[in-house]
Amino acid sequence: MNLTKNNLTIRNAMAGDAPQLCAWWNDGKTMAHAGFPNGIGTTAEKIQASLATDADDTHRRHVIELDGNPIGEMNYRNMGNAIAEIGIKICVETQREKGVGTTSLSMFIDALFMYYGFDKIILDTNVKNTRAQHVYENKLGFAKVRVNENAWRDQVGQMQSSIDYELYKKDWRKPEGYIHIRNERTADHFAVESITRDAFWQYDNLKEICDEHLLVHRLRNADSFIPELNLVAEVNGQIAGHIIYTVSKVIDESCTPHEVLTFGPLTVAPAYQRKGVGTALMRHSFKIAKELGYSRIIIYGHPRYYPRVGFVEASQYGITTNTGDNGDWFMAYSLQENAFDGVTGQHHVDPIYADLADEDVLEFDKKFPPRNSLSILLERAKIYKYSSLTYIDASDLQNSKVLHNNDNLILLHDESKSPAMLYFATNDFNLVVAEVAKIEKSFKIGFVPREFVPALENLNLTKWCEYADFFNNDLPKISIANPAQPEFATPEECPIVAEISKQVNHNEPIEELQKWQTENKIILQREGTNIVGFCCVAIYNEGTTLWVQEIAIAPAYQGKGHGTILLEQAINYGIQNGAVKGFLHVDVHNKKAISLYKKYGFVGEYSNTEIQMVRGLQV
């Protein structure tokens, strides 16, 4: 198991960790709460031998690292019947009571439920450890099973009491995303090759095929392949990245070979780029490689990316490619001190890297769905700081003209919509402003950053509306007396829903409402037999969050409480389907709606509102 979130890592304990574990376990102050105030009195050799018996399906010890430094340990044991018993110690005193243990446990528990097949987790703690009890009960949701009074004696003969806890998977509240790294499995091959294909496909500069996915496919069967260093990264159960290693060599002037490692392709799926996945894969693989006895790595890669983790130009060591070339794209990394001492010459990789004919790539590519350039574009748009494409489907863009699609700017213009729409994704919104200045016709643009509103106003754009996100982070706490059972719209009722949307100027196309009705739910509100309002709802984020996408009441029926009834039905629908959080979007000028949402515990986030602006349209 390897779990990473920001600067916190939980990884399998390795033989090289034995001296550190020995120091912790022999420290009476660290071990007192476990009943060993004089320490365990073990040796690094015994611990190393014990670690060799660790296995995912029985038991395993783990090391907790903060900024790459060990600060504690965790473990689990398979008790049978899909039950895991866990334990944790933050061993560095200065890191206690800072939330590190809570975050570590949250990641660890989630991984045991999601990736390791457990349905129940148990643990115990000393009755004197009130801090741990608070974390288990109030922050992680464990239920107290029993108190064991004077149940055991510690190392010096003092009677001790403990509390048993349990937590079921069905009751677990999933934490925010972390990265889980493990060895690739056969069942992962197609998914890994697919994300490799997407990540390396060149969408903008003439190249119509990429060969990296075929390279991954072939490397698995190469003699130089290292299975222990063939790793995938997962986020929320989805494969988000992959790294693969082979053995290569540097041959000096005397024809003496020096063994080195080479990795690549290093793949991060477009939706997970710039989120630390690639760095996590490298750092974890470096530890494994060092444990396996390797000392140096040489790669070919992006000169602005890999130096962040410590790569330097290979020319510093007198090493060139096998053709005698060099450049900032040819880099080296030392796993051990002085690893490149005496290593000079030309670098040679497995010939399989060069043996990738276009006809072979095209044939292999037939295994995969046809490329949808808009879908790939939308995936890539997620990595930018500013984007109006976050909630857009590829089907929404079928009639759009792609004005720009490069590393600096994605820009699309759809004149088939009324009003015409301008979509963007960029890290520099000034590029969007410059393109807006070139457009003469009327259009609408959403998700305008507040600081750039004046710049667009100078180009004769006017603010159309402004939306804020409202959140409720504890939906089950809402008490609704005798909630009415919701009535869900049928396909035949979607035209009526579309007409109400038009009456309140939401103007949802009937096609979009029909799609929503098919994939999610539309709750109807009636007065007598007449449909007078509706509410679009969805459950997302792996079933944890209710999205109230739209509430609309026909003008003639507003002010009669229909909106309140729809919101209550939506909340109740979410709770019944396991949602623990609620999310909705509201016009900041709609004071009545805001008052209603606040009444039900929703809190507005006004620091990052969605501003829509128009040119040539009446506001």
pLDDT digits (tens, 9 = 90+) for 505-551: 777 778 889 989 998 999 999 999 999 999 999 998 777 899 998 89
* Of 176-180, 246-250, 385-389, minimum mean pLDDT range: 176-180
Any domain includes 230: yes
447, 312: one domain: no
Q: Which residue has the tokens 């350039």?
A: 373
- Return the exposure string of 504-527: e unless at least 16 CB atoms fall within 10 Å of the residue's CB, then b: beeebeeebbbebbeeebbbbbee
Nearest alpha carbon to residue 288 among 357, 229, 344, 243: 229
The first and second tokens of residue 280, run together, are: 């996590």
188, 65: one domain: no
Strands (E) in 283-368, as ranges, are 296-300, 312-313, 319-321, 330-334, 345-348
pLDDT in tens, 390-441: 878 777 888 899 999 888 999 999 998 878 999 999 999 999 999 999 998 8
Q: Which residue has the tokens 């934490």?
A: 175
Asked whether the beta carbons of 242 and 267 are under 8 A apart, the reply is yes
23, 129: one domain: yes
Cα 571 to Cα 578: distance, rounded to the nearest angstrom: 11
Nearest alpha carbon to residue 329 among 347, 355, 351: 347
Cα 237 to Cα 126: distance, rounded to the nearest angstrom: 34
Cα 240 to Cα 502: distance, rounded to the nearest angstrom: 40
Any domain includes 488: yes
Per-residue confidence band for 205, with pLDDT thresholds at 50, 70 and 90: very low
Residue 348, pLDDT > 60, answer yes
**The pLDDT value given to residue 372:** 67
**The pLDDT value given to residue 153:** 93
Q: Collapsing DSSP states into helix, strand and coil, what is residue 59?
A: strand
167, 183: one domain: no
Asked whether the beta carbons of 410 and 377 are under 8 A apart, the reply is yes
Q: Kindly report whether the global pTM for this prediction surpasses the value 0.85.
A: no
315, 444: one domain: no
pLDDT in tens, 494-518: 999 999 998 987 777 788 899 899 9
**The pLDDT value given to residue 204:** 38
Mean pLDDT, the chain, whole residue set:
92
- From 123, 143, 171, the end of a domain falls on 171
**The pLDDT value given to residue 619:** 55
CATH number at residue 322: 3.40.630.30
Cα 372 to Cα 156: distance, rounded to the nearest angstrom: 69
CA 539 to chain centre: 18
The first and second tokens of residue 53, run together, are: 């018996």
pLDDT in tens, 17-69: 999 999 999 999 999 988 999 999 999 999 999 999 999 999 999 999 999 99
CA 58 to chain centre: 28
pLDDT in tens, 155-185: 999 999 999 999 999 999 888 789 999 999 9
The first and second tokens of residue 55, run together, are: 């296995």
Any domain includes 300: yes
Cα 523 to Cα 224: distance, rounded to the nearest angstrom: 59
Nearest alpha carbon to residue 391 among 530, 538, 605: 538
542, 411: one domain: no
Any domain includes 350: yes
Dihedral pair phi/psi, residue 371, rounded to 5°? -70, 130
Asked whether the beta carbons of 233 and 181 are under 8 A apart, the reply is yes
Dihedral pair phi/psi, residue 207, rounded to 5°? -70, 120
Asked whether the beta carbons of 542 and 591 are under 8 A apart, the reply is no
Any domain includes 382: yes
Any domain includes 27: yes
DSSP 187: G
**The pLDDT value given to residue 506:** 72
134, 210: one domain: no
Residue 581, pLDDT > 60, answer yes
Cα 520 to Cα 167: distance, rounded to the nearest angstrom: 31
DSSP 55: B
- From 399, 430, 460, the end of a domain falls on 460
DSSP secondary structure string for all residues of 444-510:
EE----GGGHHHHHTTT-EEEEEEEEEEES-GGG---SSPPPPEEPPGGGHHHHHHHHHHTT----H
Cα 204 to Cα 208: distance, rounded to the nearest angstrom: 9
What share of the chain in percent tops pLDDT 70? 98
Any domain includes 367: no
DSSP 76: E
Per-residue confidence band for 208, with pLDDT thresholds at 50, 70 and 90: low
The count of domains in the chain is 4
Residue 152 pairs with which residues in a beta bridge?
A: 160
CA 472 to chain centre: 22
Residue 526 pairs with which residues in a beta bridge?
A: 531
Cis peptide upstream of residue 419 (ω within 30 degrees of 0): yes
- From 145, 171, 197, the end of a domain falls on 171
Asked whether the beta carbons of 550 and 512 are under 8 A apart, the reply is no
The residue segments making up the domain with residue 196 are 179-362
pLDDT in tens, 209-245: 689 999 999 999 999 999 999 999 999 889 999 999 9
- Return the exposure string of 542-557: e unless at least 16 CB atoms fall within 10 Å of the residue's CB, then b: eeebbbbbbbbbbeeb
Cα 271 to Cα 387: distance, rounded to the nearest angstrom: 13
333, 384: one domain: no
Any domain includes 502: yes
407, 520: one domain: no
The first and second tokens of residue 316, run together, are: 């510093």
- Residue 272: is it exposed, middle or buried by C-beta count within 10 angstroms (0-12/13-18/19+)? buried
316, 453: one domain: no
533, 387: one domain: no
H/E stretch holding 134:
helix 130-134
Residue 583 pairs with which residues in a beta bridge?
A: 471, 547
Cis peptide upstream of residue 495 (ω within 30 degrees of 0): no
pLDDT in tens, 283-327: 999 999 999 999 999 999 999 899 999 999 999 999 999 999 999
Cα 579 to Cα 571: distance, rounded to the nearest angstrom: 9
Nearest alpha carbon to residue 31 among 139, 126, 134, 142: 126
239, 164: one domain: no
